[in-house]
Structure 1
Amino acid sequence: MSGLFSTLNVGVRGMTAQQGAIDVTSHNIANANTDGYSRQRVTMETTRPSNTSPGQMGTGVQISSITRIRDTYLDYQVRAENGTMGLNEGKDNVLSQVETVFNGLSDTGVATLINKVYASWQTLSTSPQLSNTRTVVAQQSKALTDQLNSIYNQLKTVKDDCKAVIKQDVVDINSMLDQIDKLNQQIKEVKIGGDEPNDLLDKRDLLEDKLSTKFGITIEKKTYGGEDLKATDGATGDLTLVKSDLTDDVKRFSYVSSITPKKDTNGIVISGTYDVTYYKNGDMSSDNNKVTMTMELSKNAYTSLDQGRVLVADKDGYAVDKDGKKIAGMEFIGGDIVGTQIPLATGTTYQLFNPTTGELKGYMDVQVDIDTYVNQLNNLAKGIAFSVNAIHSGTSTASDAGNEKDVFNFFVNSIKPNAAGEAEITAGNITVNSLIINDPMLIKVGTGNPPGPTDGTRAAAIAKLKDVKFKIQGISDNSTRTQFLSDNTVVEGSSTALLTISSAPDGMTVGSYFTTIVNGLAITVQGASQNVTNHGALLSKLEESRTSTSGVSLDEEMANLIQYQHAYAANAKIISTVDELLDLIVNGLKK
């Protein structure tokens, strides 16, 4: 009897083990299309045998573990490539927008408009007595300045869009870090209890995959399935974002929403001093998360902060200095200002996150490119304005002569109070003098006092500027007309005498300068697109390799299901047979 009951137990254990295997297989099939799921396998082992004569007798089977199939080396490779792909995709997306904004060499692009402006001056030089030729000059020039204004503003918008992506990334990153932190503790609890938290491990790995597209991460395995997660910072080294042990001594990120020049009590801007406002953990849904700090920033520090925008913070979102200490600032809670405002001496004690790869890095770096294109566009605007104004006014020295009609500028700064001023002119504010727009007859066409009705010598000289080479590439933010023309041979004129400009050595014409910008942009965009294609192919191959290891194959699972089904049925047959034998013994004895 004891032998039959022992056999019965063997059959029960067999059915139980095969049922568990069927459950795991069903779980795999159900999650065949679940993102981040790793297929699981049942490991079976024999149960402890019984000691009987003449030797040990087997007692059946049991499930020793349910493990997920995962290759950690492939995980490392995929995550490293995720960071590179995120960087290149971010650059490619933005640079493609910039290329579209410039509109290249199309019929409505800047290059075509530049040619039309100089052509209109040439036409005017041959027909100075016609009012419509003057109107064409004014309108073609206004079309050019409007296009420059539009490109400038669109580039600024593209840059703002980059910052918006960075802001959203900060929110998403902090959320993922909090989730990984919670999963860490849940996994450890399950591990300590002696079980395998396979589905929790999958969730954590999936979050780490997504996080790796934002910036480079390193992961250190700890006991009981815990992990320490760090971000690679090019400035300060690794930043610990998640620890296996539950602690608040980890870093998070906050987003700088504005950098505003500081003003004194009289409303005068304090040079180099700024009010820097950031939102804790990037959460701009409430002013309770807003903190403002006063900082002294050099030009380079301002540029880095403006392009980066991501501050290293403590777990509560407060910005920390390079020693990890909270930086004091004004907080706005319930509409009231709380906290202490402490001006920083140098503005360099804060930690600006400087990722070495990933989407964040891409959107930070591409802003440098945008600023470069804005500066080049500003140089183009200055070059056009300075050269045309010099001949139109008859002097190589800039004049802000207001409404003096004998000496004034053709191109002016639209935001300056003085309508004729060209100081601080950029692609964003360049326009045609409103006096000329309202009265094209004010355009200076000839020389002499007064010029003859058919004298178009000044207009002809402006038309020839199309072929004059200038040091446009050497213009700075503070360049004046005199400095711009210092490399050219200039024969001074006056309001009645013609000023002439000869080409500068190693200079560029206005048209060729813009063409160089467009061609350089096209090459950069092509390179970025090629990088995306190349790294996309590599990432696809790595993910394919990982899927072949960890992914669910429905064909394989169906084959396993049939195998476990037959084993289950066989064990059921054992139980049925033992039942018949027990019935024979028990009921047969009654007879």
Structure 2
Amino acid sequence: MSLSSAISIAQSAFSTTAVQTATVSKNIANAGNADYSRRMAMLGTTPGGAQVASIYRAQNEALLKQNLLSISQSSAQSSLLSGLEILKSALGGNDYETSPSTYLSAFHDSLQTFASTPGNSTIAATVVSDASDLAKSISSTAAAVQDLRLDTDKQIAEEVANLNALLASFETANNAVKQATAAGTDATAALDDRDSLLKQIAELVGISTVTRADNDTVIYTADGTVLFETQPRQVTFTPTTAYDATVTGSAIFIDAVPLAAGSGADTTAQGKLASLVQLRDEVAPTFQSQLDEMARGLVSLFQEGGAPGLFTWTDGTVPADGTIEPGIAASLAVNPAAQADPFLLRDGGFNGVVANTDGDAGFTDLLDGFITAMDEDMTFDAAAGLDGTSSIMEFAASSIGWFEQLRSGASTADDNKTALLARTEEALGKVTGVSIDEELSLLLDLEQSYKASAKLISTVDAMMASLLEAVR
């Protein structure tokens, strides 16, 4: 080996070590960045010594796709559970102490007490007060359900706008990747940006990806609709300004295809948007129907002469049996006449039909009939999602049971999907993440390489000095 060759090799080693050191330093600086993939300087051999041929970015497509799926599933489940927890709070929390079922039981008990002492004016007033509390519980719960639907609708609008913004950013990042790949320049930073955007998009909608020439990526939704191909597809949504039991919210359209809602406590939704649609259009309306059926049942059970008696609503009629009357729960109230004269419940006379014509203080026929009716089976609309034949007491209890089963199942599924997401992130991190220990160990190796190169230069310098000395 000539001295000039030795110097060339040493210079190449210095240059290579510098690039490797810069790469390791960058890795260490981004050790806590979940969107950063580890870089490695790949070496190649040339006549002038080793040189950095390329900067390799750690990646694993299979693990990334599994991670994107886990993100979508966990995000959807979390959104569904969050909405259910809001409803649970409106019902009084863990014990459901402000739920219609609780107030219905209290009203039933006070009605029985009144039947045992029908001449007691204090107890009569208590029954009417409990009836008023029951009506308020049903109407306020119905209002909470519609408030949840409205808030969910607003959240959908915000997330659709966010999705469109993310897709626009993805176009920029994807173009940067394609240009760098085509030019043969370093595309690692652009790839990091693009993968980060994919994770954020996956939180909103389930996706799958296909990579084409020049590292171009196409994004599809979970049901196969094109979300991005060269440029973003249009995601549209028309917000609804007000909700009641008769209003149906607008669909989310991706490239003119409606986004399907999730279903079940362990929701089939992928991405937050599908679970929000499920909450707004399936869960909340079903619970609203149950409230409407409770209200309809009370109006029907306590009617007098074919018109509302103790319980009334804005329409002022007795709805047909076994058919949901949308929105009746929102306006359910106690007849003002009962508040003025609580003994109307015992004697009748809300609509001029007096049963206790003698004014007997011990008259209990109507009260006994009401109690018996509350415990007997009646027909409910199967569209409410509960047993179509049961007593109103059983129906109210089943409604809370239905809701708690849904919420409990959603909570368990959320724990499972969160754990799965953590495991996929850990698996992906082991492949693409930065290990400080590995990087520090590599720095020590590079230090030894630098020392060897320095030693080579020192030796060449000494040889050159000896050579010059010899020719003097």
TM-score of the aligned structures, taking structure 1 as reference length: 0.71
- Kept in 1: contact 2:77–2:410 (CA 8 A): yes
Deviation of 1:530 after TM superposition, in Å, equals: 1.8
Indicate the residue corresponding to 2:419 in structure 1.
Answer: 537
- The Cα shift of 1:468 comes to 1.5
CA gap 1:241/1:534 in 2 versus in 1, 3 angstroms: same
Partner of 1:238: 225
Cα offsets for 1:554-579 (capped at 9, x unmatched): 11100100101110121122122222
Task: Name whichever of 431-440 and 37-46 sits farther off.
Answer: 431-440
Q: Would you say the 8 A contact 2:150–2:241 is kept in 1?
A: no
One-letter amino acid of the structure 2 residue matched with residue 216 of structure 1: G
Q: CA deviation at 1:129?
A: 3.2
Partner of 1:310: 252
* Alignment partners' CA distance in 1, 2:118 and 2:154: 51
SS at match of 1:122: helix
Distance 1:555 1:379 in 2: 64
Report the identity percentage. Answer: 21
Q: Partner letter of residue 213 of structure 2?
A: T
Query: 2:170 aligned to 151, 173, 180, which one?
Result: 180
2:283 matched residue in structure 1: 369
CA deviations over 1:506-540 (Å, ceiling 9, x no partner)? 73111111111111222222222222222222222
**Which stretch shows the higher mean deviation, 465-474 or 204-213?**
465-474
2:258 aligned with 1:352 = yes
Q: CA deviation at 1:442?
A: 3.9
Greater relative contact order structure (CA < 8 Å, 6+ sep): 2
Distance apart, 1:452 and its partner CA: 2.2
Structure 1 position 189 matched with structure 2 position 171? no
- Counterparts of 1:384 and 1:112 in 2: how far apart (Å)? 15
Which position in structure 1 is the counterpart of 2:449?
A: 567
Residues in 2 aligned to 1:18 and 1:254: alpha-carbon distance in whole angstroms: 52
Tell me the equivalent position of 1:269: none
Residue identity in the other structure for 1:580: A
Q: CA deviation at 1:421?
A: 4.4
Q: Find the residue that maps to 2:423 and give its secondary structure.
A: helix
SS of residue paired to 2:44: strand
For 1:198 and 1:6, how far apart are their aligned partners in 2? 34
- CA separation of 1:506/1:426 partners in 2, compared to 1, >3 Å: closer, same or farther? closer
RMSD: 2.6
* Alignment match, 2:14: 15
Supply the distance in 2 between the matched residues of 1:238 and 1:107 (Cα, whole angstroms). 45
> What is the alpha-carbon distance in structure 1 between the residues aligned to residue 240 and residue 167 of structure 2?
25
Q: Which amino acid aligns with 1:533?
A: D
Within 1, Cα distance between the matches of 2:388 and 2:154? 41
SS of equivalent to 2:32? coil
Name the residue aligned to 1:266: none
Contact 1:110 1:148 in 2 (8 A): yes
Query: What amino acid is aligned across from residue 257 of structure 1 in structure 2?
Result: P
Letter in 2 for 1:582: M
**Corresponding residue for residue 460 of structure 2:** 578
Cross-structure match for 1:471:
379
Name the SS of the counterpart of 1:257 in structure 2: coil
CA–CA separation in structure 2 for the residues paired with 1:537 and 1:126: 56
* CA displacement at 1:409 relative to structure 2: 2.0
Distance in 2, Cα, partners of 1:546 & 1:311: 32
In structure 2, the residue matched to 1:213 is 203
**Structure 1: distance between partners of 2:124 and 2:277:** 46
Question: Quick one: distance in 2 between partners of 1:445 and 1:115?
Answer: 23
Offset at 1:175?
A: 1.2
Q: CA deviation at 1:587?
A: 4.8
- Cα deviation, residue 178, structure 1: 0.8
Q: Deviations over 1:122-161 (max 9, x none)?
A: 3333433333222112111001111111111111122222
**Other-structure match for 1:279:** none
1:176 corresponds to which letter in structure 2? L
Which residue in 2 is equivalent to 1:495? none
**Which residue in 1 is equivalent to 2:369?**
461
Whether 2:139 is the aligned partner of 1:149: answer yes
Once residues 467 and 454 of structure 2 are traced to their aligned partners in structure 1, the CA distance between those partners, rounded to angstroms, is: 20
> Where does the alignment leave 5 or more consecutive residues of structure 1 unmatched?
50-58, 262-298, 314-319, 321-350, 400-407, 477-504
Kindly state the Cα deviation for residue 436 of structure 1 after the two structures are TM-superposed. Answer: 2.1
**Per-residue CA shift, 1:452-499, capped at 9, x if unaligned?**
2332321222222232211124588xxxxxxxxxxxxxxxxxxxxxxx
Paired letter, 2:173: L
- Matched position secondary structure for 1:66: strand
2:140 is aligned with what amino acid?
A: S
- Once the two structures are superposed, what CA deviation does each residue of 1:189-232 show, in whole Å capped at 9, x if it has no partner? 22222212112101111110221122121212122222122223
Cα pair distance change 1:577/1:42, threshold 3 Å: same
Q: Does structure 1 residue 27 correspond to structure 2 residue 38?
A: no
**Deviations 1:39-95, CA, capped at 9 Å, x for gaps:** 111111111x3xxxxxxxxx2111001111111111111112222222222222222
My pick for the range that moved more, 162-171 or 444-453, is: 444-453
Query: Aligned partners of 1:133, 1:4: CA distance in 2, in Å?
Result: 113
Q: How far has the Cα of 1:441 moved from its partner? A: 4.3
User: Do the aligned partners of 1:379 and 1:475 also contact (CA within 8 Å) in 2?
Assistant: no
| Alignment correspondent of 2:152 | 162
Unaligned 5+ segments in structure 2 are 262-268, 320-324, 349-354
Q: What letter is aligned with 2:416?
A: N
Q: Tell me, in whole angstroms, the C-alpha distance in 2 between the residues paired with 1:556 and 1:506.
A: 65
SS in 1 for 2:238: strand
Q: Structure 1's 562 and 191: CA in aligned 2 closer, same or farther, altered over 3 A?
A: same
CA contact (8 A) 1:255 1:311 kept: yes
Q: Contact conserved, 2:75 with 2:204, CA < 8 A, in 1?
A: yes
| Aligned counterparts, 1:124-523, within 5 A | 124-233=114-223, 237-243=224-230, 250-258=232-240, 303=248, 306=249, 309-312=251-254, 351-354=257-260, 357-367=270-280, 368-389=282-303, 393=304, 395=305, 397=306, 399=307, 409-413=309-313, 415-416=314-315, 421-422=317-318, 426-445=328-347, 447-474=355-382, 507-523=389-405
Shift in alpha-carbon separation, 1:122–1:474, aligned structure 2, 3 A: same
1:547 and 2:429 are equivalent in the alignment: yes
Q: Distance in 1 between matches of 2:241 and 2:20?
A: 60
Residues 85-128 of structure 1 deviation map (CA, whole Å, 9 limit, x = unaligned): 22222222222333333347644432232122223223333433
Looking at structure 2, the residues matched to 31 and 506 of structure 1 have their Cα atoms a distance apart, in angstroms, of 60
The alignment partner of 1:73 has SS state of helix
